[in-house]
Amino acid sequence: MTNTNLISGLCPTVTTGEPIAYSFALKDRSDENLPSLAGGRAASESVGDPGWVRFYRGRARELVYDLGEVRKIGGFSAAFLQNGAAGVYTPRRVELLISADGVTYRRAFAVDSKVSPAAKDVSVSVFEAAGGQAFSARYVRFDFECEVHVFASGFAVYPAAEDAVPAAGSALEPPKPDLGYLRAGDTAKNGVIIYCGYWDETMKYPESYVLNTPADLMPYVAYVDRDGKIADTMYDSVYFLSLQSRTPSGGYMCAMHNVEKPNTYRSDWLQFLDNMFAEGYNIDALNTAAGSVKEALGLTDYKVGVHIQLPFPHPSGEDFGGGMRTDTLENRVAVCRWFMEEAVRRFDERNYEHIRLCSFYQGCESVPTAVSDEEEALFAAVNCEAHAMGLKASWIPCYLGTGFARWKELGFDAAYMQPNHMFNKYDAAMLGEFAQSCTRYGLGVELELNYTAVNPGENRDSEIERYYDYLRGGYYYGYIGCDTATYQGAGPGYIYTACYAEDPAVRAIYDNTYLFLKGTLMPGVPRVAATRFERQTDGSYRAALSLEGGSEIFGHDTTFEIVTQGTRGAAVVHDGELIYVPGYTFTGYDKLSVTAVIHGVATEVRTLTLNDVAHFAVQRGIRELNALCDKPKSRAWMTGLSVASAAASLLLLVSGRKNDKHR
């Protein structure tokens, strides 16, 4: 094999493992220097080295190089950076695939990493495969995972000897069929997150944030109408999570790998249990609230599901307490088993009538591979412990978080992915991409409501619309009716705030969420509505367009389109207004038709009539124009000229309005 690089100077075509054009691609910097990826040497250990091509999330990358002609391939090399403190991780495996047509690929080489994602030292790893078999291909494709940041450089593909006999390569696994949205049902159909846990005087929120009363929880288990009455059920399950993962010792209930002392102790875990099972609060309060709903609605077989967060056992050589340690995988699993058994014991002792324990919830929002190489094994082992107790295991990973696609292999019974749209300035179209990933892997959907949508602020209306993106997306992308979880803050949360809001716009959040959870939030069949045409001083006519009927929240995604133009003028829709410019043959009367398009679906066509005959009857010019058009040939000629001149006038008019906006 020679040192000739067959891809030197070529720029690859890049495909992400999951669609991210409207989300993470906005933070991906690979386009800045992608042509240099196959430019030569590996970059240095510095994250600031301009030689690194920076990829960001998307689960994986496929980089295809077109060699221009069929060549014999003898090996490859590729360099990657490991810098866990900066969130940059070396892929666990790099593969080189070959193809004759750029469509069908076979595996030629596969090289596993010698560096763990948990490695603390900064290093550059070079994946190399050379010698042995040769392969024939015009197209070569590099495949590697990209679950957070991946920095790559020094890509090369080397030719094989001229007399080498090409091998066929190994066949790829056939793509798995999409699993559709999660519809587990028995784990949780529609759950909501409620926070509890540790509090002290140094925190910026009151103690009530971790002490939820029956009244606090009522608008979650019941749909409370605008008269304050229990009208229906709302969420069927509650996830009790540790607020901000805080503990008395200063450690964290979730995985932290860039913190000096993240580990917790038995006393921290006991405090979490004591708070969850405090008399009159949290789980106890949920039972009381559920009982009230059961009685008010006359339900006989009604119980609300309970899901308890499983604290994270950080690896530590310190004594955990109670004769336990967290220094090995086996010991960490044993600590989790103790907690789960203690939670089940306390739950059973209370003999709750109106709630049932459903699952233990994994509090980490992604598999914390930066902590150790045992984290996937830990997840799988503790989920097996839950199953041995007759319970389920649940998880809500962040958007494309590490391990999200492997949730079933990790032993979870239900997983709901966070879109994180509420907290980013992404276009709502990202929910379509999010939906594709959910259906591919059988995930449920998390709804996310932020305080910015329910509290006064200059951006409140736009934040309400951002939340409604989730609800509209359920209809557009088909996840209405699938299993969901809802994040909505703490104290007890923003769904509570919306329920009791005096502002109708905020209260509507609660009502529309209820309709979504019940699977009945639909746009209906809205119709185009229009005001009367008003004559303007510039000679044009204008009418405001709107929708009538259907759910109000779907109006946000509406555009109006002209189906047929009038015969004596030209019209255009601009900023929700229909603007009509009459032509030479206009006599005060014309017809045109419009439709409303809601997310690509058109409503029925509405014919609009412009009638200003009375005004034109008193215009001297109209008589002269009619006289000129008496002859059929003249009339046809003038009609064509009329429409053309109106269209030209309309273009100038709309252009002028646009320019006015920028002055």
Taking the alpha carbons at both ends of the chain, their separation in whole angstroms is 65
Short-list 516, 472, 475, 525, CA closest to 498: 516
SS3 of 437, please? helix
568 has a pLDDT exceeding 50: yes
| Mean pLDDT of the region 525-529 | 78
Under DSSP, the state recorded for 11 is: -
Q: Which of 171, 206, 234 is the last residue before a domain boundary?
A: 171
Return d(Cα 245, Cα 652) in angstroms, integer: 60
The reply to whether 637 falls in a domain is yes
Query: Residue 40's pLDDT is what?
Result: 74
- Reported as a single tens digit per residue, the pLDDT across 590-619 is 999 998 887 667 777 889 898 988 777 655
Tell me how long the chain is.
Answer: 663
Residues 240 and 151 in one domain: no
- Reported as a single tens digit per residue, the pLDDT across 388-410 is 999 999 999 999 999 999 999 99
Return d(Cα 573, Cα 598) in angstroms, integer: 15
Residues 129 and 221 in one domain: no
The reply to whether 194 falls in a domain is yes
Q: Regarding predicted confidence, which is higher, 373 or 425? A: 373
Short-list 195, 206, 343, 208, CA closest to 277: 343
Residues 549 and 490 in one domain: no
The reply to whether 342 falls in a domain is yes
- What are the E-state strand segments in 83-201? 93-99, 106-112, 123-146, 149-159, 166-167, 170-171, 190-196
278 has a pLDDT exceeding 50: yes
> How many folded domains does the chain comprise?
3
Kindly report the number of other CB atoms within 10 A of residue 423's CB atom: 13
Nearest 5°: the CA angle 114, 117, 119 is 80
Residues 209 and 245 in one domain: yes
303 pLDDT tier (thresholds 50, 70, 90): very high
Residues 106 and 215 in one domain: no
Residues 356 and 488 in one domain: yes
Q: What is the CATH number of the domain that holds 89?
A: 2.60.120.260
| Mean pLDDT of the region 215-229 | 97
Query: Residue 596's pLDDT is what?
Result: 85
Return d(Cα 261, Cα 247) in angstroms, integer: 12
The reply to whether 455 falls in a domain is no
Residues 569 and 637 in one domain: yes
The reply to whether 598 falls in a domain is yes
Q: Quick one: which H or E segment has residue 639?
A: helix 632-661
Residues 126 and 213 in one domain: no
Q: Which of 171, 198, 216 is the last residue before a domain boundary?
A: 171
- Reported as a single tens digit per residue, the pLDDT across 103-156 is 999 999 999 999 999 999 999 999 999 877 899 999 999 999 999 999 999 999
The reply to whether 357 falls in a domain is yes
Q: Quick one: which H or E segment has residue 463?
A: helix 460-476
622 pLDDT tier (thresholds 50, 70, 90): very low
Query: Residue 12's pLDDT is what?
Result: 97
Average pLDDT, rounded, for the chain: 91
Alpha helix segments (H runs only) across 155-305: 214-221, 266-276, 282-297
- Reported as a single tens digit per residue, the pLDDT across 25-70 is 999 999 999 999 997 788 999 999 999 999 999 999 999 999 999 9
Residues 269 and 292 in one domain: yes
The reply to whether 7 falls in a domain is no
- Reported as a single tens digit per residue, the pLDDT across 158-183 is 999 888 889 999 999 999 999 999 99
653 has a pLDDT exceeding 60: no
Return d(Cα 559, Cα 563) in angstroms, integer: 13
pTM: 0.86
Residues 642 and 622 in one domain: yes
662 has a pLDDT exceeding 50: no
The reply to whether 183 falls in a domain is no
Residues 505 and 588 in one domain: no
Concatenating the DSSP letter of every residue in 505-521 gives HHHHHHHHHHHHHTT--
Residues 53 and 194 in one domain: no
| Mean pLDDT of the region 441-469 | 96
Query: Residue 639's pLDDT is what?
Result: 55
Query: Residue 625's pLDDT is what?
Result: 45
Structure-token pair, residue 525: 């069949």
Whether the Cβ atoms of residue 286 and residue 238 lie closer than 8 Å to each other: yes
Short-list 157, 171, 170, CA closest to 66: 157
1 has a pLDDT exceeding 80: no
661 has a pLDDT exceeding 50: no
Per-residue burial over 271-298, b if 16 or more Cβ lie within 10 Å, else e, is bbbebbbbeebbbbbbbbbbbbbbeeee
436 pLDDT tier (thresholds 50, 70, 90): very high
Domain limits for position 621: 527-661
Return d(Cα 569, Cα 562) in angstroms, integer: 13
Q: Which of 494, 517, 540 is the last residue before a domain boundary?
A: 517
